Amino acid sequence: MNQQNQSVKTSRIKKITFIFMSIWSTIFGACAQSQYTNVDVDGFEQAIKNDSAQILDVRTHEEFAESHIKGAIQVDVFSPNFLADAESKLQKERPVAVYCRSGRRSATAAKQLSAKGYQVINLEGGIMAWIAKRKETVR
């Protein structure tokens, strides 16, 4: 291989490496900005004990009316104004303990809220796990 071909090949490798690193840092940066903690029922109960964390139920109004964890604030994660509604009801200085029915919607909410700077705790298994452990709910 002559020197010119080697130089072109090296230049291409550098460009590809630069692009790859740019993409990687974008992805990694986005992940780092949206970190939250998943906890089981016992961990969630500890987090909300003595009003130490704000409780956020991200299910629908109908689901919330059927049964929810005492003291929870309700904001539907699928509402087009979810973040604005949640931020108007939450204090950024206090942790947010978030839950839904099974843990999927609350994981979505946790990502969004943690990306906005909230310290978020997500209940694995949602209110179904909470009820299975015979923890208190209210209507």
**How far is Cα 96 from Cα 68, in angstroms, rounded to an integer?**
16
Fold category of 37-138 in CATH = Oxidized Rhodanese; domain 1 (3.40.250)
Q: What are the extents of the domains in the chain?
A: 37-138
Closest CA to 101 of 136, 137, 68: 68
Q: Write down the pTM of the prediction.
A: 0.76
pLDDT in tens, 27-39: 544 444 469 999 9
pLDDT in tens, 83-131: 999 999 999 999 999 999 999 999 999 999 999 999 999 999 999 999 9
Mean pLDDT of the chain: 86
60, two tokens:
């629908």
pLDDT in tens, 41-84: 999 999 999 888 999 999 999 999 999 999 999 999 999 999 99
